[in-house]
Structure 1
Amino acid sequence: MNELITRDLHQGLLTLTFNRPDKLNALNTAMYTQLGDQLLAATEDAEVEVILLTGGPQCFCAGNDLKDFLDNPPSDMDSPVFRLMRLVMALDKPLIAAVAGPAIGIGTTLLLHCDQVLVSRSAKLRMPFVPLGLCPEFGSSLLLPRLLGHARAARLLLCNELLTGEQAVEWGLANELHEDGEQCLAAARKLAERLQALPQDALRISKRLLKDAHRQELEVTVQREGLLFIERLHTPEAKAALRALVKD
């Protein structure tokens, strides 16, 4: 199997890197499966203390692979993409994202579930679900209004607004802004070291407490969004929008 998600474990820090640079790290079914497997293994591995998710210093993730979505759309809530979502939401170990370049679609909604998000000035966040004939996913219709207020959430989810790295920090979608991707990655590793220096059981209990108050509501939202997303993928509107962007 090709390493579409590379894994590096060093002194308790597990770095998972999207590794499909020729496609700007667009996620296909195999990548969802591999990333889900890596997160499940990390949950069960006592050596893993903190998880860092990145696409490298140039590009985080260009969203879903549109051709894969047309050729192999998720059929139910057990599909790899939705399994990944459940695994991310169930993580009790800290999850840090280091974001450079494009973070599109699920490349942005994934960040809503990270405990810390660091971005470079090159970061570009966008959720083009409506232009693709689709609907929000990964709990974004719940989390974004709660985080940003309705008006700003609507600018992102309805109006396809693009946010720079600087704007992402200003709006509260990210914690820190760094000059370039290399600095962003270095800062993320330093932040991981700070978390690793803390009592680990207390850290995980505290993360669970932060998440538990809204966990059930979030799970219900992800389920509802997911079913609607699957339904939308089969509509003429979505198929036409996706085909218009897919190159053979």
Structure 2
Amino acid sequence: MTGHVKVEIADGVMALTLQRPEKKNALTGAMYDALSNALKQAEADGSVRVVLFQGDGDSFTAGNDLADFASQARGEATVDSPAHRFIGTISKVGKPLVAAVQGNAVGVGTTMLLHCDLVYLAENARLITPFVNLALVPEAASSWLLPLRIGHARAYAMFALGEPMDAAGALASGLANAVVPQADLRKRAHDAAIALTKRPAGSLSLTKGLMREHQRIAAQIAAEGEVFKERLTTPEAREAFAAFAERRPPDFSKLAG
């Protein structure tokens, strides 16, 4: 285990388990690096046929650790964070990616699912993309991929209003393959991963490549990344993170965009 990410390989499946339940699996720089390194390892290791994401505790992940964002907004840390590396890495993985999601999947916890090939949700899963609430913009090519998947109106509500999407809504919108009781979640996702290991790896990789517009995705990630970095340095972002730390509603009324 490295940086609260447990890496296990068995029967052709690399399971990546987020293990920071006391912080709702909020992702630190070390955790992003661990995930990126594991994905690179999976791509290079012929014994790994499928990668499975899962999280311990009552949440899949609370998304980026907001302390990191707040530090960047105050100019105390670089905005070239390990999160950008992870986003670039997951978007290029050629092997099948499976996710088992329970509880809240916030920010990158939702946008990374757009790069997964099979997604299984517990009945209590909630997909949340509160980028605008934090004076930021979407990432991981989600500003293109999410409207493409669920339509502009629903995607805009998720981004601009921060409206959560529950498990049933995600299934109906095409963001998930199935909704199952939480007790059955990991087994259902692992069974799917095992089933994929029995398919021809070359055919799976080529099929995934044909289904994804890699150049378009890479261009969108780059465009979002530039704006995201700029937004982190704005007065709006500083107000958003200060309000979060002080447990009060933010006041953007007197700030220019």
Work out the CA distance in 1 between the residues paired with 2:41 and 2:246.
35
What is the CA distance between 1:175 and its match in structure 2? 1.0
Check conservation: 1:60, 1:101, Cα contact below 8 A: yes
Q: 2:118 aligns with which of 116, 126, 131?
A: 116
Name the residue aligned to 1:199: 200
SS in 1 for 2:43: helix
Change (3 A) 1:47 1:208: same
In the TM superposition, residue 2 of structure 1 has moved relative to its aligned partner by 4.7
Of 88, 95, 99, the match for 1:93: 95
What is aligned with 2:34? 34
**CA separation in 2, counterparts of 1:133 and 1:246?**
15
SS, match of residue 223 in structure 2: helix
Shift of 1:26: 0.5
The answer to whether the Cα contact below 8 Å between 1:104 and 1:125 also exists between their aligned partners in 2 is: yes
Q: C-alpha separation between the residues in 2 aligned to 1:12 and 1:31?
A: 23
Q: What residue number does 2:150 align with?
A: 148
**1:17-69, Cα deviation, whole Å (9 max, x unpaired):** 11111110011111111111111111111110110001136210001100122
CA distance in 1, matches of 2:12, 2:115: 21
| In 1, Cα distance between equivalents of 2:44 and 2:57 | 29
Structure 1: which amino acid aligns with 2:187? A
Alpha-carbon distance in 2 for matches of 1:114, 1:135: 21
Write the distance in 2 (CA, Å) between the matches of 1:74 and 1:81.
12
In the alignment, what sits opposite 2:237? 238
CA distance in 2, matches of 1:216, 1:74: 27
Of 163, 166, 172, 1:164 maps to 166
Q: Find the aligned partners of 2:78 and 2:102 in 1 and give their Cα distance.
A: 28
TM-score, with structure 1 as normaliser: 0.93
C-alpha distance in 2 between matches for 1:130 and 1:74 = 21
Aligned to 1:189: 190
Q: Is the 8 A contact 1:27 1:63 kept in 2?
A: yes
- 1:74–1:143 CA distance, 2 compared to 1 (3 A): farther
Q: 69, 75, 80: which is aligned to 2:79?
A: 75
1:107-159 deviation line (CA, Å, top 9, x unaligned): 00010110011000111111001111111111111011111111111111112
The aligned amino acid for 1:96 is V
Unaligned 5+ residue runs, structure 2? 248-257
- Structure 2 SS opposite 1:90: coil
Match of 2:178 in 1: 176
Q: CA deviation at 1:173?
A: 1.1
- Structure 2 letter corresponding to 1:66: L
Which residue identity is paired with 1:143?
Answer: L
Partner deviation per Cα, 1:148-171 (whole Å, 9 max, x = no partner): 111111111112111111111111
Q: Give the whole-Å Cα distance in 2 for the aligned partners of 1:204 and 1:119.
A: 24
Q: Which residue does 1:220 correspond to in 2? A: 219
Contact 2:79/2:232 (CA < 8 Å) preserved in 1?
A: no
Give the counterpart letter for 1:127 in structure 2: T
Q: Secondary structure at the match of 1:110?
A: helix
Distance 1:159 1:170, change over 3 A: same
Identity of aligned residues (%): 40
Q: How many residues align?
A: 243
SS at match of 2:134: coil
Structure 1: gaps (5+ residues): none
Report the equivalent of 2:10.
10
